[in-house]
Amino acid sequence: MRVYDFNEMDSICFEINNGKVAVVETDTVMGIISKDSQLIYNIKKRSSRKKLIILVASIRDVPNLTDKQTQVIEKYWPGPLTVIKNNVGYRMPNHEELLELIGKTGPVFSSSANISGKTPIYNHREAEVIFNKWSNKMVLVEGKQLGGTASTVINIDRKKILREGPLNAKAILEQLGK
């Protein structure tokens, strides 16, 4: 399994744009990203009923936001907030190199880097062990868990908290209004 660091941005982009999965650090837990959602489901042994999120480099990558939704999201992005809009989850991580990578590849599917139901991995070395049977479909980017808590998740259409994380979800809902 090839290990890169973020200084090899063009090579990482090439791998992702050519169908591979990358395990990367984010501002929360270690993540697994790809253009191929099915590959993430297979690697994680994740039920297709559990949706993946899309990591974006710009709020413009989230379609059909109201002015109020845009205003509120801009207060928390980049950061540990996942918003559900039209049944799709979006997040802009507060991680400079990862944002640069997503800016070059375009939005990518993402989930925590782990086998579904298990604890997220702590660093790229653990990923090498846990995901070694996928070595021909995966690359690793040197890194470690920076946060420790998965993002706060809010459905901004229904104004509903789906997961409390590092941000105060109730305060965000209040800002969205009725």
pLDDT value at residue 13: 97
- Of 172, 171, 162, the closest CA to residue 84 belongs to 162
User: What is the rounded CA–CA span in Å between residue 23 and residue 157?
Assistant: 30
Mean pLDDT of the 45-68 span = 96
pLDDT surpasses 70 at 59? yes
Crossing angle of the two packed helices 67-76 and 169-176, in degrees rounded to 10: 150
Q: What is the pLDDT of residue 64?
A: 96
Tell me whether residue 155 is exposed, middle or buried, using C-beta atoms within 10 angstroms of its C-beta: 0 to 12, 13 to 18, 19 or more.
Answer: middle
Residue 56: pLDDT over 80: yes
**pTM confidence score:** 0.94
Q: What is the pLDDT of residue 1?
A: 87
Please compute the mean of the pLDDT values over residues 10-28 and round it to a whole number.
96
Q: Is the peptide bond before 63 cis (omega within 30 degrees of 0)?
A: no
- DSSP letters for the chain: -EEE-GGGHHHHHHHHHTT-EEEE--SSS-EEEES-HHHHHHHHT--TTS--EEE-SSGGGSTT--HHHHHHHHHH-SSSEEEEETTEEEE--S-HHHHHHHHHH--EEEEESSSTTSPPPSBHHHHHHHTGGGTTTEEEES-B-S-SSPPEEEETTTTEEEE--SS-HHHHHHHH--
Mean pLDDT over 53-60 rounds to 97
Among 48, 151, 141, which residue's Cα sits nearest to residue 90?
151
Q: What is the pLDDT of residues 100-111, one digit of tens each?
A: 999 999 999 999
pLDDT tens digits, one per residue of 128-167: 999 999 999 999 999 888 777 889 999 999 999 999 999 9
On the question of pLDDT at 31 being above 90, the answer is yes
Distance CA 174, CA 133 (A): 46
**What pLDDT does residue 65 have?**
97
Give the mean model confidence (pLDDT) for residues 35-60: 96
Mean pLDDT of 39-46: 96
Rounded to an integer, the average pLDDT of 10-21 is 97
Q: Is the pLDDT of residue 178 over 90?
A: no
Residue 145 is predicted with a pLDDT of 83
